[in-house]
Structure 1
Amino acid sequence: MSPVLSVRTKILIAIVAAVVVLSGVMYVISSGVLLASYQKLEREAVIKDLDRATDGLKGFVHANIMGKMYDWAEWDDPYFYVQTFDTDRNVTFEEEILPVTALYNLNINVLLFTNLAGRGITIRYADLENEQPGPDAEAEEVKRIIVSYPSIINHPDINEGSEGYILTPKGILAVASRPLTQTNGDGPTSGSLTFARYLDAGVINEIADTTHLALEVYRYDEQQLPDDVLEAKQKLTGDTKYYTKPLTPTTIVGYTLYNDIDGKPVMIIKITDPRPVYAQGQLSFLTFLIISGLAILVFGFLIVFLLERLVISRFVQLTSDVSKINDVHDLSIRVDGGIKDEVGRLADKINQMLLWLSASQKKEAAALEEVKHGKERAEELVQVRTKELRQEKDKLQESNVLMDTMVGNLPVGIVLAEAPSGKILVANTTAQKILGADLDPKKDGTIFSNFAAFKREDGSPYPDEERPFSLAVSQCRLVAKNDIMIDRADGSRRLLSVVAAPISSSNGKVTSVVDVIEDITEEKVMERSRDEFFAVASHELRTPLTAIRGNANMILDMYGKTIKDKDMAEMLKDINMSSERLISIVNDFLEVSRLEQGRFEIHAQDIDVTTTIDKVTRDMKGLADEKGLKLEYKAPEKQLPKVHADPARVEQVLVNLVGNAAKFSKKGSIHIEAEEEKGAVVIRVTDSGTGITEHNQALLFHKFQQAGEQMLARDITQGTGLGLYISKLIMSAMGGTIGLEKSEIGKGSTFFFTLPLASKKEA
């Protein structure tokens, strides 16, 4: 006879079966929904990276090839070279402008001129890796392929070029082409100019670094493609633009096609991405399963508990009590009736004999139940808190590893030193290389103040109290110095830029200092060499230019009216004007050199700035009238106070601003205003010119940057781009300021500069 299962066992088996079935259903549903959604997100992320790779390839052609062509395509020399190639070939242009070394400087493999008939007339082909001319056979084959693309050599619009990629026997060629026009941009075109660069491993690595992608590129017509790329090529047909495939649990690959200039597939792009989204989905899925499982277990436990508490235990208790009463025949024993249901009513009949025992039994059962629940709750809280502490510890360790890695790989030196002792707590590798010293905090005696001999640039000792570390500790503020010279252990001397940032405790006391160290030795040498070169070259140029201008003036004065050849007279005028402009440019260079090196004097005095403004208005009126502009000075109702400044320098700055306003205004007016504001006189020059974009506004007041919108156009203003830079240096020397107050495209700009009042100037 098989054993009979108890009611408690049957109920427990039923609940366990229900929990297992429910867990299986939840697993199937959640895996189908959660993981599928994360896989969709992962594919979308890979597609975005494929688009970035495609944009990177397009950007390379536009920035590194098309961007180098504008000066060549809009130039009289190549324009007429192609136009007259068949009738009067310019051999000098080929020898001086088109040597193969020009391709090395441009970092391109191919330079090709084609005429209007679509015939390639001149090609230069270079092996960039070995810096030598490429084989003639390869050059002719490349020329044949390029000429076979009408979209490359034919340009209906002289303002539009073409760019993209094509296939050649040697490899994938990045190609950009523009129509040839004259220097002033006038047409019609005489042919086209094509630049090309092979898409070699170096270029691909450069694009990969720029886009931060693991990028691979394969020829579309390559016969020996890897199996995965061949599979992707077969998938990328019809409307299928992208193909993605998980490679490993941690990596996924994506593929897409890139078409040539005529829209035919030229290469297959492959990227390899990590799978953080999939990993997050796995983690979320696992977390969901764990939480769901715990919830189901708690639910099952609650059901078992309630059944045990409300039904089973009562039956068991009643059976036990009745059996005991029957065994001992003690009618004083009572049973627990519980709820007043059928069991309770039965128990009440028995409890009439067991009343005295039931009260004590209830108290004992309640106490035991409370202890049981308290123990379970305490164990659950301990487990939860232990898990939270473990997670926090792991996050802290990850953060420490990440911080150490970041600091160790910074391109500048980082030193954390204890204050005020200077004991080194942390130092990265870059700092040790710059200082040429072992800064290991574990070694004794590695004190920050003793690791190197501090000196000034002139070789004199650097006082301890003036060092960035000492100032940061004593003044509790950020301190920056770029004049610190050190003698390293290897005997070399380096010039450093040091920024010291104090770290304070809650009571305001500086406990440590972070020093950011940068080696600026080479930068300083380059800056001095550049300034000395400009000064010497400009000075040496001025003497012969002055002679040219003088002789040209003398010829014009003495023989100008007697010269009957108009072309000869025009050439003499061009020589005179060009020499004057070159002398002006040289003077600007010399002026910048003197201002930057402090070799000039400011003869400041108390002046009435209105007099200077009136003089500039009279002097510049002729220039404004020539351009059809109205130049006026609106004097304030209240007389301006005197300012403390050099009148000649004030006039120089104002003339430059008015000249720029006239230069960039085609019609309208130029207004000069002056008023007193906050202890200074502010002078404003407002024009109705072309205006300046926000991007180009950031370039103002820098060397060789002009105030117009078309800053990169060739010879757009006949200026050097030094006027605003010189004006800024002059205003700084006089204690004033200069800047752009506002500018709106198509409506004009307002520049201003300030001069200190005479009463505010210290004696």
Structure 2
Amino acid sequence: MGLRRATILLIGLTLAVLLVGLYAASRCIILGRFVTLEEDIARQNVERGVNALHSRLSQLTLMAIDWANWDDAYAFMNEPDKAFIASNLPPETFRNQGLNVIAFFDPDGLLVWGRFLEPGNDAPVEIPEPLLETFRSGVARLFKATDRTPRQGVMMLPQGPLLAAMHPVVKSDGSGTPRGVLLMGALLGEAETARLADITRLDLSIQALQAPVPPGVAAADFEGKPSGEPVVLQTAGESSLTGHALVRDVFGEPALVVSVTMPRDIYRRGVDMMQYNLVTIFLAGFGFSVVVILFLERRVISRVGLIERQSGTIGTRREAGKRVALSGSDELARLSDSINDMLDRLEKTQEALEISEGKYRSLFLNTATAMLLVNTETSLIELVNAEFERLSGYGRRNVEHRKSWKDFTLEEDAKTIENFFRNRAASDGQIPGTIDCRFIGRGGDIRFVSLTVAMIKGTDSCIVSMIDLTDRKRAEEALAEFNRTLELLVAERTGALAEKAHELEEANQRLQELDRLKSAFLSSVSHELRTPLTSIRGFAKLILKDLSRMTGMGQGLKGKYARIDDNLQIIIKESDRLTMLLNDFLDLSKIESGKMEWRDARLPVSDLIVRGVGAVRSLFDEKPGICLALDVPDGLPDLFVDPDRMLQVLINLLSNAAKFTDKGLVRVSAALEADGLRLTVSDEGVGVPKADLVTIFGKFRQSTQGDILENKPKGTGLGLAICRNIIQHYGGRIWAESEVGRGSSFHVRLPREALAPKGEKKAARSEDGTA
């Protein structure tokens, strides 16, 4: 589209959009203001009509007040007489005051006197019974016995709406108990409506609220209306506007609709004003558009066309020395000068590009790496350097624009390279630009090369550099062969190691069998040794008993008796020691062979500690320098273990503390921890070296710290091993903490599984864990 046509179209569209926007704004703002003004006037007219109706009611109320606050009327209510009626209530009173009903009711709601004037009649008649019942019920609803407040409003009768005013009958000064109610009313007929319309100079109509009069208006239309806007408006096109107001009866119920109709002159004037404004704006815009188009045609479009023609001539004929000629001092003239300056710079840039191209071409041709310029669309090689000629064996004339890069590679590599070129072009060079492939030279020899591809942005060409990897590939193949040989050698050595491992496994099984035989042998020997030891111990005690009876022996035999007594005590003591050794052998053998019987039962921690301390009390009595302390808090849960085995553990730990402590404190403590119960036996004895803290729990192991055990009782080295096996049977842990010269602490932790829940009795468990 030309500049001239685009300008005309743009101005036309702008004018059209402007007119549409102005029309919408005018209709929304200007015409909206006129409509609002018209509606306000309509509401005011309706309010005037309602006020006229209320004014008529006020007149009736004043008349009712004047008659009801009158001593004669007050006396008439007590004693009705014809003189009052003849002088004050003749037919002229109804016609002169425009009344249709005058009625006096006593406090009980009974009619004292009343007449009703039918529309079109000259003389009033007695009130018909239906109307009388309506008046009577209305008075009863509105007035109490002592109520002095007047009432006014509309009462709906079969004859039509009645404007009624009621007031209690009292004395002229307002005193005295009300003797009844005076009701005065005027029917609201066509004559009365016309009189109100004439007074207000409005097109006024008053109708009962009953469908379909007035059309489309009901009491529900006035519900929810704000107190300041009780008027409902209806429009009849652009001709008239009608406002409706609801009037409630004397009981507060919807009764009448007051309607005022007015012509829509204000609205039509708003429409005319809006149309005049639009026509004026259109003519002004059209004139402005013509002026703008003529100006643009003379000062812009024609001169731009001249620049276009001259620039086209320069570009077509490639006349480098010719320039654009445009007179003037405006922006287009300065644009022509800028174009001339740009042509000068382009000319210089072209020369610089030719120099740069020569430099890069020389660099491309003379680099020591084989390089080629490839068209990715046609796959033809467009340029190669001397190194590529050497690598391929072809001259440049035989390659450039004659051969494809596919002619220098294997068929299975060609598809991979083609996909690589395509991905490089699509990703704008984001994919790594190196790929390894095989290269076929002129003599058919295959070499391994690494291609580095650089895409030339904005073109279908790329520069490919080739690095010969043949020597490296051959070295890698040799290394791979060496690795394969090494793997075979490792496999052979692994097989040999597997055979050795199998032999070690068989040796381990033989050792385990020997260990079982050793345990069986120890068990058998221990049982065999216990019988003679029992006999030796028993006979030694009998001999000692017999010697004790020989109290009358001579003075020379007392020394021999003392030696025999000492020897027998040694025999008994060593027999006990050997018996304990055999018992340890038997216990350890039973535990390791799984033949130990475990008689688990509920055992309070305090009972366990008291029994253990009592069993070793003699050891502590022999050493007065030792102080034994117990730290057992209340509330600890009971253990569910074998009491004898657990007592054996505590006795072993206390015995060790007594053996290796000369003076100081030996403490037995118990505490409940998060993961179970912890028992601790600590002393201030000689201590255990750190190197022996683990080994002392092995079989036949004792601390080996220099002469620290010199002159101390020797043990079997099985006590702590038996303790460890017992604690491990219950899933617990035993360990020692010590510092040489400062004492030791032996800790036993039993898990929660070894604790007895409160109120629960458990059955004894055998070695395999079954109940």
Please indicate the TM-score interval, normalised by the length of the shorter structure.
0.3 to 0.5
TM-score, structure 1 as length reference:
0.39
TM-score, structure 2 as length reference:
0.38
